[in-house]
Each structure stands twice: as C-alpha cells, then as structure tokens.
C-alpha cells in the first residue's frame, strides 16, 4: 500500500534537496525524528524502500534525497592550472657568468687598473650588456676581495701589496704541499705523464706574455694535479686562492711579466718529474718556491 505521507513534511521548500552546484560536495540530508518513526528517513527501522506509484522507485530517491543504496556523485575535479612558464634564469646566469669571467681576465691582464673606479653602466656598454649582470658580477668580485664598493660611483679595484700576496702564498702552501707529498707516494708515474700536455700548455701561454691566457692554463694545470686526491672541496678552495694570487700587484711591469710567466711555467714540468720520481724533497722545494714566486 502506498504511503504518501504529509505533503508539508517532504514536499516543502525547506527540506527539498537543493540544486547541485558545480564543484560542491553533496551532503546527504539528515532524517527528522518523525520521519524515522514513520519509516521514511535513512535511519528508519522499518523498510525504507517504499516506492511511489508513478515511478516504482524508492520514495527517498523520488524526492531527490540520498539513500544508503545510492552511490554519492563525486565532486567534479578542479581543472589543473597550467604550469607557469619558467623564467630565463639560466640565460641570465650565463650572462653574469660570462661577464664575471671577462672581468676576472681584465683584472689579471691589468685592463682594470688597481685603484681605479669603474661604474657598472660604463662596463656594461663595454661588454654590450645592461648594467645589471655587470653589477652582480662586481658584487661577486667584491666578496672575493678583488674590488670594493664605492657608493654612488661604482667599484674600485683593490690595490694589492706584496704582503697580501705573501699571505696567500703561505695559505696555498699549507693546503697544497701535504696533498702533493701524499700523492707523490701513492700515484703511479704514468698518471703524472698524462698531465704533461697541460704543463706544455702553460709554457705556450707564458711565451705569449698574456697574463690572462696564462692564468687560465695555470689554474687548469693545478686543478688537474690536485684532483688526483679525490677531494672536490680541496680543489675548489685551492683554485679560489690561486685565482686571488694571480691578480697583479700595483707595480707590475709589462717587460718583466713575460719572464716571470716563463719561470712559473717551467716549474710545472719540473714538478711532474719530481712527482713521478717520488722525490719528496724536490717536490717540497718546488711547491714552496712556486706558490711564493721565488724562483
């Protein structure tokens, strides 16, 4: 027998299921106590599958209400936003790195004179870039002690003296000498032979008299030698100290630069011979003289 129930209880606007809203989670309506007693609500003790005369469906379904047998409609999945296009940070970093290398070469070669002040816009015009990567590169050089910031003017190239160079040489010897003495005892002679092309490259660069060209080949040789120790941090620290030691002094003369470079390059081949022969005494003498510039 069909039970229509009070019209004002289940057909009123107050209890009718609201229209579904896109993206909203559908919450089943709670049954009233009177409905439960009559067997109409989800918590009724009597069978709740009372069907309408029109559709034959459960009365609760006909009213649009949720029943236990009905699977809830999942909320529509929100559209995934498209990932933002990456900014060209790699390109900017590359430009800054190129400017940094160019400024370091200019420092070593004496193109940026000690004591002189250079502005980022002027250097940017020189390299064909904006002032921003030049300023960022100069900030890095300031951290390394190569230049100092002059407010409202730019950057002044630091005037270095013999004392600073001696201090750098002392630190380099403290770091590199124990490592090279250990490598002399453990590395086979053929490994040192493999490094001879790098030593020859330094000799060729020295013959040109170009300090910037020699600086690159010189540091490449020392990195290759120290890398045999298998300590990446050691190589990075030693390379940083080496770079700072390559900045020219205030009184560097062009006519003496080439002879000093040739003498420095000659130490490389002699050092490889001493390492291959495992001659600790010669290695120690060469390293101390090499890093201090006492030939």
pLDDT by residue (tens digit) across 134-144?
999 999 999 98
pLDDT at 37 over 80: no
- Beta-carbon-side half-sphere exposure of residue 158 (alpha carbons within 13 Å): 18
In whole angstroms, what is the distance from residue 168 CA to residue 162 CA?
A: 10
Q: Which CATH number fits domain 91-157: 3.40.50.1820, 1.10.10.10, 3.40.140.10, 3.70.10.10?
A: 1.10.10.10
Question: Residue 234 class from Cβ within 10 Å (0-12 exposed, 13-18 middle, 19+ buried)?
Answer: middle
In whole angstroms, what is the distance from residue 71 CA to residue 294 CA?
A: 88
For 88, 177, 237, the CA distances from 240, given in Å and listed in that order, are: 28, 16, 5
- Strand order, beta sheet including 147-150: 117-118, 154-157, 147-150
Of 258, 252, 235, 264, the C-alpha closest to 172 is 235
DSSP state of 147: E
Task: Read off the pLDDT of residues 183-202 as tens digits, 9 standing for 90 and up.
Answer: 999 999 999 999 999 999 99
Q: Which residues lie below 8 Å from residue 212, measured CB to CB, with a gap of 6+?
A: 105, 106, 108, 109
The better pLDDT of the pair 216, 50 is held by 216
Task: Read off the pLDDT of residues 245-294 as tens digits, 9 standing for 90 and up.
Answer: 888 766 555 545 788 899 999 999 999 999 999 999 999 999 999 988 65
The better pLDDT of the pair 224, 258 is held by 224
User: Of all helices (H) and strands (E), which one includes residue 148?
Assistant: strand 147-150
The better pLDDT of the pair 200, 42 is held by 200
**Spans of all domains in the chain:** 91-157, 162-292
Q: What is the rounded average pLDDT of the residues 176-189? A: 96
DSSP strands (E only) in 62-133: 117-118
Classify domain 162-292 by CATH architecture: Up-down Bundle (1.20)
User: Of all helices (H) and strands (E), which one includes residue 154?
Assistant: strand 154-157
Provide the pLDDT for residue 160.
83
The better pLDDT of the pair 53, 160 is held by 160
Q: Which residues lie below 8 Å from residue 243, measured CB to CB, with a gap of 6+?
A: 104, 144, 215, 219
């Amino acid at each position: 027998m069909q039970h229509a129930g009070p019209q004002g209880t289940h057909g009123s606007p107050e209890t009718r299921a609201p229209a579904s809203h896109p993206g909203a989670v559908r919450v089943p309506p709670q049954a009233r106590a009177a409905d439960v007693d009559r067997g109409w609500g989800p918590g009724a003790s009597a069978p709740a599958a009372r069907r309408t005369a029109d559709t034959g469906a459960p009365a609760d379904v006909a009213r649009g209400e949720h029943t236990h047998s009905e699977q809830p409609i999942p909320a529509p999945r929100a559209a995934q936003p498209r990932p933002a296009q990456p900014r060209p940070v790699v390109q900017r970093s590359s430009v800054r790195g190129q400017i940094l290398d160019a400024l370091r070469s200019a420092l070593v070669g004496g193109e940026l004179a000690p004591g002189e002040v250079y502005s980022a816009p002027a250097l940017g015009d020189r390299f064909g870039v904006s002032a921003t990567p030049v300023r960022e590169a100069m900030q890095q050089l300031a951290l390394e002690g190569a230049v100092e910031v002059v407010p409202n003017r730019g950057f002044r190239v630091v005037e270095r003296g013999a004392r600073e160079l001696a201090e750098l040489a002392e630190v380099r010897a403290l770091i590199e000498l124990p490592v090279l003495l250990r490598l002399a005892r453990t590395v086979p002679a053929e490994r040192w032979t493999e490094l001879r092309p790098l030593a020859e490259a330094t000799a060729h660069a020295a013959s040109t008299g170009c300090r910037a060209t020699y600086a690159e080949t010189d540091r490449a040789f020392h990195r290759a030698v120290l890398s045999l120790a298998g300590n990446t941090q050691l190589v990075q620290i030693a390379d940083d100290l080496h770079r700072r030691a390559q900045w020219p002094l205030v009184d560097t003369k062009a006519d003496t630069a080439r002879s000093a470079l040739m003498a420095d390059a000659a130490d490389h081949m002699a050092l490889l011979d001493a390492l291959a022969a495992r001659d600790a005494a010669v290695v120690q003498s060469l390293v101390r003289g090499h890093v201090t510039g006492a030939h």
